[in-house]
């Protein structure tokens, strides 16, 4: 298997990325709505914290997946992508 056999997908073809994007944009829209209507501060704080956890979880999950893919490619004697 050569390096050309590793097919890179664009981010918009990834279901995980689409779910992350919808979640992140939804949280930002919710925050914008709360700011415009003057909602309670605790609700805004909870929304920001939960959106941040989703962001960090997605980034760490992708980093772990990339590491696993590279280690698997090296263990099989192939050149890792990227």
Q: What is the C-alpha separation between 68 and 33, in angstroms, rounded?
A: 40
Q: What is the C-alpha separation between 21 and 26, in angstroms, rounded?
A: 8
Q: What are the start-end ranges of the H helices in the chain?
A: 15-37, 41-75
- pLDDT > 60? residue 1: no
Q: Contact, 3 vs 81, CB < 8 A?
A: yes
Residue 7: what pLDDT? 55
Q: Contact, 73 vs 80, CB < 8 A?
A: yes
Q: What is the pLDDT of residues 26-79, one digit of tens each?
A: 888 888 888 888 877 787 888 888 888 888 888 888 888 888 888 887 888 776
What mean pLDDT comes out for the span 9-15? Answer: 73
Q: What is the C-alpha separation between 52 and 34, in angstroms, rounded?
A: 17
pTM summary value: 0.58
């Amino acid at each position: 298997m050569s390096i050309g056999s590793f097919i890179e997908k664009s981010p918009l073809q990834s279901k995980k990325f689409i779910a992350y994007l919808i979640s992140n944009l939804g949280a930002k829209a919710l925050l914008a709505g709360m700011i415009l209507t003057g909602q309670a501060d605790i609700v805004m704080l909870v929304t920001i914290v939960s959106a941040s956890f989703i962001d960090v979880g997605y980034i760490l999950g992708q980093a772990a997946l990339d590491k696993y893919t590279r280690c698997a490619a090296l263990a099989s004697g192939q050149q890792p992508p990227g």
